[in-house]
Amino acid sequence: MFGNNIIMAPFWAWICSQIIKTILYVAINKEFNYERLLGDGGMPSSHSATVMSLVTIVGLTYGAAGFEFAIAGVLALITMHDAMGVRRETGKQAKVIKSMAELFEEIGKDVPGEEKLKEFVGHTPLQVLMGAILGVIVGLVYYQV
């Protein structure tokens, strides 16, 4: 497995993305949040970095005319579209629900003890673009090494 470039390039793209995401979070918020190291959402998109490094390494290994590249490309498009669409809307809804729960608590109403909703689940188009660029770079570098 560790000798398989098709697996390892996306793995390293994900690792790089998560580290960059955590560093940016600390720089902006002046606090360390362990969830940023492993969690979804944020800048850059680790999903986009992962799938675009896959597309890049597959394209360089098998060529753009092969079925492998087509499969990786379609997977990347679906993943990045989902990150900006459904998953982003889910994060927005989580913020609204949290605000409503806080409002109910302020006026003394009981709020059901649900699990903590995650707000960082989706991505803006810029976060997806930066993740995609990172993924291409990692794929290119990994292919050269």
Structure confidence by residue, pLDDT tens digits, 25-63? 899 889 988 877 887 778 899 999 999 999 999 999 999
128-141 tens-digit pLDDT: 899 999 999 999 99
Q: What is the pTM of this model?
A: 0.75
| Contact (CB, 8 A) for 117 and 98 | yes
Which DSSP string corresponds to 65-89?
TSHHHHHHHHHHHHHHHHHHTHHHH
